[in-house]
Amino acid sequence: MSSDTPFSLQDETPEALDRFYNQSRPIDLASWLSELPLDQAWRYLAAMPLPRQAATFGALSLEDQTALAAVIPAPSLNVIVALMSADDRVDLFRCLGPIEQKRLLQSLPSEVGRDIQQLALHAEETAGAIMTSDYAVLDAKMTAPEAIDALRGQASGSETIYRSYVVDKTARLIGSVRLHSLIIADKRAVVAALMEDDPVSVTIDTDQEKVAQRIAYYDLLAIPVVDGAGRLVGIVTHDDAADVMQAEATEDFKKISHILPFKQTMRQAGIGVLYSRRIIWLALLVIGNLFSGAGIAHFEDMILAYVSLMFFLPLLIDSSGNAGSQSATQMVRALAIGDVKMKDWRALILRELAVAAALGATMAAVVFPVGAWRGGIDVALTVELTMFIVVMIGSLVGMSLPFLLSRLRLDPATASGPLVTTISDATGVVIYFSIATMVLKL
């Protein structure tokens, strides 16, 4: 948290503060508090009504929650955590140290403490880790009015009641029903007749990215999470799915740039963390680039005879790398969102071959007159042929690498950017001077 505030309160009387808190949304209050020093942020937070305290504290980033929790007196923190939603408080719990976790569990109501411990057991980046236990359940034998009365009693402790879940006596998920259906139903209608059988669901160990994709694909407000026996154990809401997609997209961007993942934000990450996450791939790519240098050294005599060839070298290898990066980025994203599957590779490679040929021919036509002007017809022909071939190869490499890495059960995001460029550079150098050797008859 910084010491700069986006605005200041001119009047801090209890009446003015109450009016300010009531007129502001929790997310706006959280944004304001995050810019204040910790002790001042807690002073303002403590002045809020308890429900607003919990909502505002829950809207802070996990980093700010953890920092603020360190200055909040234990009794006050316990009350705030108990009022938070189940998934938000378990996220905070995971960020605390072992001593703070133990102290918090001992002072919370036993039911809340057990719920936190149960949710915290699930592996990170799975449905179990991001689900909440705050959901509404109904019995299939209830009439519509009875179901609405039941929801009225569960509403305050549920993330959403727009869709409720129907379970049997063993808590096994058997259906779901919309609130809209219950409201417009005949008074004698029972839930069993209104519910949708076999609702879309995920298991506890389903990867969180697949959970988010399924919520988006089926356009759901929430998706139920079941255990191995089909018992309902939680739900993942659309807002948590959106957070997952944002986190996954951020991670993919880092991988595309060959930056190893780190949990801190850019503002919080220290020099050592940023250095260690970037140096490994940079060092490996340097080794890869040595092959480009070796290729140039191998054709040193030709370069001395035709110095004009060096003028086009950066242009050619950059064009190959750019074409490859375009293909790789498109394919990584398509694989990530499930737009393409491994079985599509054969059809896609043929289409990419046609697209790459058209791109290569266009770019070759552009560079031919420049080559003729700089070095004559022979050099122009060399540059033109090389441009056509390297753009095709770069595009095919960029499209194929994500598929290959997926087949090897590696993250395809690592195929983009610098890796494709490094491969394209090395092959481009060899192709360029090999063609020059044949055309110029050296």
Q: CB–CB of 211/223 below 8 Å? A: yes
Residues 6+ apart with CB under 8 A from 347: none
Q: CB–CB of 384/371 below 8 Å? A: yes
Helix, strand, or coil (residue 119): helix
pLDDT bracket for residue 3 (50, 70, 90): very low
Taking the domains of the chain in order of start, what are their residue ranges?
Answer: 14-121, 137-237, 271-440
pLDDT digits (tens, 9 = 90+) for 398-408: 888 888 877 87
Q: In the CATH hierarchy, which fold is given to the domain comprising 271-440?
A: Tetracycline Repressor; domain 2 (1.10.357)
pLDDT computed for residue 425 by the predictor? 79
pLDDT computed for residue 9 by the predictor? 55
Q: How far is 7 from 20, CA to CA, in rounded Å? A: 12
Burial of residue 153, with CB atoms counted within 10 A of its CB: 0-12 exposed, 13-18 middle, 19 or more buried: exposed
- What is the torsional sign of CA 8, 13, 16, 22? positive
Instruction: Out of 163-167, 228-232, 321-325, pick the least confident.
Output: 321-325
Q: Does position 8 have pLDDT exceeding 60, yes or no?
A: no
CATH architecture of 14-121: Alpha Horseshoe (1.25)
Q: Is the pTM of this model over 0.85?
A: no
Provide CATH code, domain 137-237: 3.10.580.10
pLDDT digits (tens, 9 = 90+) for 271-283: 776 676 666 666 6
Residue located via tokens 């409720």: 164
Better-predicted residue by pLDDT, 124 or 249: 124
pLDDT bracket for residue 417 (50, 70, 90): low
- What is the torsional sign of CA 118, 123, 128, 129? positive
pLDDT bracket for residue 181 (50, 70, 90): very high
Q: CB–CB of 299/318 below 8 Å? A: no
Q: What is the average pLDDT across 58-62?
A: 89
